[in-house]
Structure 1
Amino acid sequence: MTGYGAVSAVRLTTDDILHLKTGSIFNSCTADPDWCAEETQRVLAHMEAYDTGPELCDVGDLDDDALVVSVGFVNNGIPMSDLRPVGDEFVAALRVLEESLGRPVQGIFPLAAGSANALIPLLVGMQTDLPIVDADPMGRIFPLVNQTVFTLAGLPVGPVAAAGATGESAVVNVSDPLRAERILRALAGEYGGWAATATYPMAASTLARTGVLGSITRLIRMGQILDSPLETEQKHDALRRAVGVKQILRARVGDGAWLARPATPGEIERPASVVLVEESQGRLVQLEVKNEMLMMMVDGAVRAVVPDIITMMRPLDGGVATLDDLWTGNVVDIVVMPAATPWYTPEGLRLGGPTALNLFGAGGAGRRTT
């Protein structure tokens, strides 16, 4: 069990939702923050229309045998398409999964602790009157559905359900997570570029034993710090204390190169290498980027690499920065945080480390120094 200090059942407020959005972008340094903003607006509009808010609960608030399910977007390897959600896709996926299992879902949790997927359960929870469990299977963002701590624990992924904006839905009786990953990507392509998925159905006691607990609370805490009026250096200190930030390096973007190497299935076909110059000592900093930032090297030595969480802040106001801020001449604060503990085991590194993401093979890397 890996925890971040989860809290018992609470009704999330508008401020909580806005902080969660900020934390979700920060924890993933997402390549597509617009989808986070859109999903946040859907949540806030529903809250205003129905005068309610999503309920966040600790997994211990549920009965041990309560059925809980992860919900999240899966795309077909390209940026989220212009085919926007109608709004009922996740409800449809949950309903067909319940029909297949012959029992009701009693709690939902995000497929990942970052980007739009961290926000998805909020609206779905209000639409279905289900609590959102303060947990997830990644503790960060990974590109593939099978890159979860549940896979590390040997748990089945299915049956899985998927629905699209076209009104179509499917249930697939599959247990192997890698096989499910491939099937869901194919369905996403057939649905127009993305699918609303319900995966990893399990008992609450299993989630308590194997999941990354308190991850939503952690994102909200990040957002509270980043959205606050604190000075940038004060935010740095607060992030070190609150979420274990390991290092922060300020650097100016020098050059970026979009490379032609192939991407891992499920990833955006636009990996990049960005070179920056550290502001204080003039050291050369290189970032390897795919869907998110995967590696940071300083003067040729690896200082952080996936599963480490590498993200960015704006030096001027300490706000969250995204990949869009990597333009020539801009100054950014590169921030490194640890991932959940299971990702640093030999099994975790094989599933979610640099080799699994074809990182070192794509261009090599220097010696890691941290």
Structure 2
Amino acid sequence: MNNTTRLTSLDEQAVEYIAVGAAVLGTGGGGDPHVGKLMALEAIRKYGPVAIVQLEYLGDEGLIVPVSMIGAPTVMLEKIPSAQQLTKPLDLLEKELGRPVTAVMPIEVGGGNSLVPVLAAAQRGIPLVDADAMGRAFPESQMVTFHLEGIPCSPVTMADERGNTALLHTIDGVWEERLARALTVEMGGSASICDYPLTGAEAKRSAIGGTLSLAYDIGRTLFEAKQQKLNPVQELLTQLDGYALFHGKAVDIRRRMDGGFTRGEAVFEGTGADKGRSLRLFFQNEFLLATVEDEPVAITPDLITLLDQDTGMPVTTENLKYGARVTVAGLRCDAKWRTAKGIETAGPRYFGYDLDYVPVETLAAKGGAAE
């Protein structure tokens, strides 16, 4: 994936671009990008632009904390968090560690969660790191590069909209996911959370840098393609070295709330060059597996994203509607996810799909990519 921007601050225009770009990278999940955008815009209007710091400029001893929302994206549409809800976990974490947070960061570059930390950064007057721990969005807490590097997830702090807070010390990210997810359900299906507090040195080693800048570039590409009357899907896939896997219309969508996740599948009837074929898309908050006539064309941890055929704008799991005409696109994941531990943590067999991971470019070379 190619990006040339290195953000130094976030203003309202940057938020507009990032909201769109992060939804493309978010593979359908990470929270609603419109909600995240509204929250970030309000924070910037109230407190002013937020400073952005690149990974290499972090002090090695600084305390860097991811701030995000946990829960089902469909619930977050109805329970928009306040700045107080997002800063309460930071307050509790600082109290537990006995030191101040020097910068915050997104845990994932997906949908609303890319912009959730903007509220905390603006309210606290601290920088936002141009990085995340996934390079996309994933549904579970241990599915982060920090876990792959063996960085402890604890202490973990959470808050809900009522003012309840929680402090967890778990033995690893898998247990954090189990306990925090259960607590999230009791908190009404969504909660704010800070986990994997780490030093600047650890962030430099383990985070995926430049992902907010990449999201910015993606959003700008889509907006400029519209202004210049270019094909937005083609412009975006060229920028990201991506693959058009299928062109189709949504004819069946099944979503359900299950264990704090939005789970389900969608079926697309082919259009254009794909007429007469069908694609099936499986998701757990995020799109995880796409098959055409039961043959995989993209598999987690590679990115699967839905793009509106006319505008190129991303379509999330909770906003996908019957009749939507989309291009199903595949993008390569970060190299960290293609390691043995990465595939074990977020590959197809973890999610119960009885198949081995095959890179999207290999599947495309076999004829899986549409023209």
TM-score of the two chains, using structure 2 as the length reference: 0.87
State which of 282, 293, 297 in structure 2 corresponds to 1:289. Answer: 282
Q: Where in structure 2 are the equivalents of 1:1-370 lying within 5 Å?
A: 7=6, 10-30=8-28, 35-50=32-47, 52-75=48-71, 79-80=75-76, 82-228=78-224, 229-233=227-231, 235-245=232-242, 247-253=243-249, 255-256=251-252, 258=254, 265-268=259-262, 270-282=263-275, 284-290=277-283, 291-323=285-317, 324-328=319-323, 330-360=324-354, 369-370=363-364
Q: Where does the alignment leave 5 or more consecutive residues of structure 1 unmatched?
A: 362-367
- Evaluate the alpha carbon distance shift between residue 26 and residue 94 of structure 1 in structure 2; reply closer, same or farther with a 3 A threshold: same
Q: CA deviation at 1:77?
A: 8.9
Q: CA deviation at 1:104?
A: 0.8
- Evaluate the alpha carbon distance shift between residue 267 and residue 71 of structure 1 in structure 2; reply closer, same or farther with a 3 A threshold: same
Alpha-carbon distance in 1 for matches of 2:4, 2:331: 17
- Evaluate the alpha carbon distance shift between residue 243 and residue 79 of structure 1 in structure 2; reply closer, same or farther with a 3 A threshold: same
Instruction: Provide the secondary structure at the position in 2 that maps to 1:307.
Output: coil
Q: CA deviation at 1:266?
A: 4.3
Does structure 2 conserve the Cα–Cα contact (< 8 Å) formed by 1:3 and 1:213?
no
- Evaluate the alpha carbon distance shift between residue 6 and residue 19 of structure 1 in structure 2; reply closer, same or farther with a 3 A threshold: closer
Q: CA deviation at 1:119?
A: 0.8
Does structure 1 conserve the Cα–Cα contact (< 8 Å) formed by 2:269 and 2:275?
no
Alpha-carbon distance in 2 for matches of 1:224, 1:48: 21
Alpha-carbon distance in 2 for matches of 1:192, 1:295: 28
Instruction: Provide the secondary structure at the position in 2 that maps to 1:303.
Output: strand
- Evaluate the alpha carbon distance shift between residue 254 and residue 82 of structure 1 in structure 2; reply closer, same or farther with a 3 A threshold: closer
Does structure 1 conserve the Cα–Cα contact (< 8 Å) formed by 2:233 and 2:311?
no
TM-score of the two chains, using structure 1 as the length reference: 0.87
Does structure 1 conserve the Cα–Cα contact (< 8 Å) formed by 2:2 and 2:214?
no
Does structure 1 conserve the Cα–Cα contact (< 8 Å) formed by 2:130 and 2:213?
yes
- Which piece of structure 1 moves more, 285-294 or 338-347? 285-294
- One-letter code of the match for 1:238? E
Q: CA deviation at 1:20?
A: 0.6
- One-letter code of the match for 1:16? A
Does structure 1 conserve the Cα–Cα contact (< 8 Å) formed by 2:64 and 2:200?
yes
Alpha-carbon distance in 2 for matches of 1:294, 1:204: 31
Does structure 2 conserve the Cα–Cα contact (< 8 Å) formed by 1:226 and 1:320?
no
- Evaluate the alpha carbon distance shift between residue 349 and residue 93 of structure 1 in structure 2; reply closer, same or farther with a 3 A threshold: same
Cα deviation per residue 1:306-355 (whole Å; 9 max; x = unaligned)?
Answer: 11111122222333334434523x42112111111111122111111111
Does structure 2 conserve the Cα–Cα contact (< 8 Å) formed by 1:109 and 1:135?
yes
Instruction: Provide the secondary structure at the position in 1 that maps to 2:179.
Output: helix
Alpha-carbon distance in 2 for matches of 1:259, 1:129: 39
- One-letter code of the match for 1:282? K
Q: Where does the alignment leave 5 or more consecutive residues of structure 2 unmatched?
A: 356-361, 365-371
What is the number of residues matched between the two proteins? 354
Alpha-carbon distance in 2 for matches of 1:332, 1:97: 42
Aligned-pair RMSD on alpha carbons? 2.7
Alpha-carbon distance in 2 for matches of 1:342, 1:253: 33
- Evaluate the alpha carbon distance shift between residue 125 and residue 152 of structure 1 in structure 2; reply closer, same or farther with a 3 A threshold: same
Q: CA deviation at 1:184?
A: 1.2
